[in-house]
Structure 1
Amino acid sequence: MKPDDQPDQSMDAAARRAVQREAQSRDDPEPSLGRRLGQIGVLGWAIVVPLLLGLFIGRWLDRLLGTGVMFAAALLFLGAALGLWSAWRWMHRQ
């Protein structure tokens, strides 16, 4: 084996690794920063919207029936549970 063969073999191996990395990134690309921020936004809205709907409906029922904060508290917790459950399901689908 000549001393000149060693650098050629390491160059060949480096080129093969680069081709493999490129093929892997095409097959399974990393999501962009914008996509990740969008996913965070969707999760936030999936939790906040049911929570606020429960709160607003509960406050409306409390004012209508004169029950203090009974319905607001119950529907707030129900909305939070529904929002967290829907966010959990959405995360596991992704």
Structure 2
Amino acid sequence: MVRRQEDEKLVSQVRLRQKRDRNRHEDVPVSRRLAQIGVLGWIVVTPMLIGIFAGRWLDRTFETGLFWTAPLLMIGLGLGCWFAWKWMNAA
């Protein structure tokens, strides 16, 4: 009896997953896909630009050359990629 209830629960979960997958793979207009690609690009670029501007400001303030700009650029790139990954997997 318990085994049958577990099987029914599993079957209902599989059907729900299939329904979600079908809804996810519906035809999406090309314009929407292009907009998503554009947003994805800005999600990566924005933290990098913030890192560059903050790094240049710190370098000018402390007269350190590229001491702050390079690491903050890399941190911005890492954050941007992480944000993009989270955004892609949230849908």
Matches within 5 A, 1:5-24: none
Partner of 2:35: 38
Partner of 1:5: none
* TM-score, scaled relative to structure 1: 0.69
* TM-score, scaled relative to structure 2: 0.72
Query: Which one-letter code corresponds to 2:61 in the other structure?
Result: L
Unmatched 5+ residue regions in structure 2?
1-21
Partner of 1:12: none
Compare CA radii of gyration and give the structure with the larger one.
1
Which of the numbers 59, 64, 72 marks the counterpart of 1:62?
Answer: 59
**Aligned alpha-carbon RMSD (Å):** 1.9
* Structure 1 residues 35 and 63, CA gap change in structure 2 (3 angstroms): same
> What is the aligned length?
70
Identity %: 49
Q: Detail structure 1 runs of 4+ shifted over 6 Å in the superposition.
A: none
Task: Give the distance between the partners of 2:60 and 2:66, measured in 1 at CA.
Answer: 9
Task: Give the distance between the partners of 2:24 and 2:38, measured in 1 at CA.
Answer: 26
Task: Give the distance between the partners of 1:73 and 1:44, measured in 2 at CA.
Answer: 20
Unmatched 5+ residue regions in structure 1?
1-24
* Structure 1 residues 72 and 35, CA gap change in structure 2 (3 angstroms): same
